[in-house]
Chain A
Amino acid sequence: MAKEMMLSGCAAAAQAAKLAQVEVICSYPIRPYTAIMMELAKMVANGELDAEFVHGEGEHAQLSVVLGAAAAGARALTGSSGVGVTYAFETYSPIAGGRIPLQMMIADRALDPPGDFGSEHTDAMSCRDQGWIMGWAENPQEAFDNCLINYRVGEDHRVLLPQFVCQDGYFVSHIPGKVVIPDQSQVDEFLPPYALPHPLDPKHPVSHGPQIRPDQGTVMNLQRAQAMLDTPAVIKEVIDDYNRIFGRNLSPFVEEYMTDDAEIAFFIMGAHTMTARHAVKHLRSQGVKIGLVKLRFVRPWPTQEVAEVLSKFKAVGVVETSTSYGGAARGGNLLHEVRASLYELPQRPLTTSFMAGLGGEMVPLKDFYYMADILSKAVKDGKTKKTVYWVGFEAED
């Protein structure tokens, strides 16, 4: 029988990994994701989970160990946070380019300098263009869901891509929430055993990763790009199955809240969605026509879905919890993707970005009211004054 538990995001992710029956786990300590590994270490020590638990000598090694394991034919899991995520950067392209569908759980942490324990999406977002599937959980339940969903999507032979399964540090990783833990039989129905097409096996010799000529490079890039292009259709199928088997109601790419007749909207992902939802509810009670759109996958970016849903509004505020210093829109990276998605539309909403929650700061309700106010003014004026607002640090407005 499925059971309900109060779990932190890290504990929820570990429960999902256990039900996915991961076979090789590689750890290295860095806060806050460490709690996932501490949970898994206990499960392995207690005999609840039959897996090899390897103590990596750093994040680069973590990714390298799980690469070897997944290439040999085992379902593999690792994870990290902050500068740990960027320390492993060399390995991301070889893993995705080798089409090895392992999973890396990230509990976000701000990058140095200075040392900051707070959550910020910049760690994972800096790695978004390597050919990994990537998305954020809003709460521990989604941290659980996304582990299983991502394994199933990534391991599908039409996809074969690794997955960054992200949750905000502390806000999700360390605050308990209600999580429904399904039966093993349900998970087994949803997630078939790991089956790499060409694992390293002396009975069937294969070579992984020989060098290529420059003219072969484009072909391989194109294949990786095509796999990403083919992924949305698989995500839809997988979410349908997930909803059916586990009795859930998840949207594949974007989740809407109070968007009917909304004129302005927040576009957001991850933990702060929860606060934003409360802000929207309150503003609605005050008569503000506001809604919210939550993004579930950054890669593959759901261009069409984003364009369709955002075209309904007059102004959209993109809430960024990551930086893109010197970028085209002077804000974070999400605004770039949002604007690119909207470009082909005959009538585009006004867009601006709100830098909020950087360094792991809270984004309280009043900050969302401030953002809503700027969006309402933009609608009234028919234009946005700026492409980026550093919330809490703006002299005017």
Chain B
Amino acid sequence: MTVAVRTQNLPPIKLIRNVPKEEYYVPGHRTCAGCGPALQYKLVAKAAGPNTIFVGPTGCMYVANASYLCTPYAVPWMHSQITNGGAVASGIEAAYRVLLRKGKREGELPNIIVMAGDGGSTDIGLQAMSAMMYRGHDALFICYDNESYANTGIQTSPTTPYGSNTTFTPPGSAIPEGKKLFPKDPPQLVIGGHPAVKYVATASVAYPVDLINKVRKALNVQGPTFMHIHAPCPKGWKFDAAKTVEIARLAIETGMWNMYEWENGEYKYQFRPKRYKPVREYVKLQGRFAHLSEAHIAKLQAFVDAKLKAPGIPVEVPAPPPRAQA
């Protein structure tokens, strides 16, 4: 009887030149120039290697990749609804457990990776994600965060930052800052209530070696793992497509994005600058924040300052305004 485990020990890499040359997310898709989500997908696929199954909930990384009956995946891939990435992955994992046990498949449990957007992870897909974590399925759930429903034309999602201009939060005379709410904190949603989870990490397209090593670490863990990957979107955030990595790096340097690992209850932080740059430097490069006043930027700065006291720990945010004012 084969017990469905992965004994693999995907090794960490040291330098960018050690990134595997093999592509499992191959060219030929139709993502936008400078697409952050596509860049992280390529790196995740390289990190995971050939013994991998991807589940792709509806989102940019479905629509822009799997077009006209063609896909860029050199490993098995399955579409799921935007609602149910975690549940479909749970089923695949359960199937492999029983098929390996019964000798109907050979080898080891494959890497099962859900590649979900912020909506498919933290909004409409939250229930399925949470249940996969709760039940302890051996799969990695990745939330690639481009901070909006980008594929449908840049609508606000739970991770869209305060003050963003999206097509559902347009700034106007009555609502000058655009988005009024502060974002959900996806890794904290997972860490806070899922005892079966032993490894959670944030990553960014700005630091590919770190990203690859975190993916590998997550895949080496037996049981459910979660990664929150910052993936800037030139179209949605309105910045020059050549600056995706620069924007991603600035997010970390200003504290808008925090890099950390959470392993068995312990936090480890990466890329923490000695002195954070003001969020203004991040904001001024992006059209989605172009309408913000000094007061709005100060509010965003205050949120970041509070968060930086202990990255990874939820901060108090201003309560949403009463409906009459909203």
Contacts and interface: CB of A to CB of B under 8 A. Distances in A.
Contact of B66 (A51, A60, A90, A207): A207
Contacts of B83: 60, 64, 90
Contact of B102 (A23, A68, A90, A205): A23
Nearest to A203: B107
A55 B97 contact: no
Contact of B80 (A64, A74, A76): A64
B76 A50 contact: no
B204 to A, nearest CB: 28
Contact of A57 (B53, B80, B93, B130): B130
Contacts of B102: 23, 50
Nearest to B94: A52
- Chain A CB within 10 Å — which of B63, B91, B94, B110 has the most? B91
Contact of B68 (A55, A67, A72, A216): A216
A54 B135 contact: yes
Interface string B33-53: 000000000000000001111
B73 A205 contact: yes
B84 A57 contact: no
A24 B102 CA distance: 12
Contact of B91 (A54, A202, A212): A54
Interface string A210-235: 11110010000000000000000000
B264 interface: no
Q: Taking chain B's interface residues, is the majority helix, strand, or loop, or is none over half, making it mixed?
A: mixed
Interface in B101-133: 101-102, 104-105, 107, 110, 127-128, 130-131
Contacts of A91: 81, 84
A211 B63 contact: yes
Contacts of A64: 80-81, 83-84, 87-88, 90-91, 128
B78 interface: yes
Nearest to A68: B91
Given A57-B127, A64-B128, A208 B79 contact: yes
Given A57-B127, A90-B81, A207 B71 contact: yes
A55 B135 contact: yes
A5 to B, nearest CB: 27
Nearest to A71: B78
A86 to B, nearest CB: 15
Given A55-B135, A65-B87, A65-B94, A202 B50 contact: yes
Contact of A94 (B62, B81, B96, B98): B81
A307 interface: no
A23 B128 contact: no
Contact of A72 (B52, B63, B77, B95): B95
A201 B91 contact: no
B25 to A, nearest CB: 12
A213 B131 contact: no
Nearest to A194: B104
A201 B106 CA distance: 10
B50 A209 contact: no
23 contacts: A23-B98, A24-B95, A52-B98, A55-B135, A57-B128, A57-B130, A57-B134, A60-B128, A61-B84, A61-B131, A64-B87, A67-B80, A68-B89, A68-B92, A69-B95, A71-B88, A71-B92, A72-B95, A200-B92, A210-B69, A211-B69, A211-B79, A216-B68
Given A58-B127, A211-B66, 17 more contacts: A23-B99, A24-B91, A54-B90, A54-B94, A61-B131, A64-B91, A68-B93, A68-B95, A71-B88, A72-B95, A72-B99, A90-B81, A94-B79, A202-B76, A209-B66, A209-B79, A211-B63
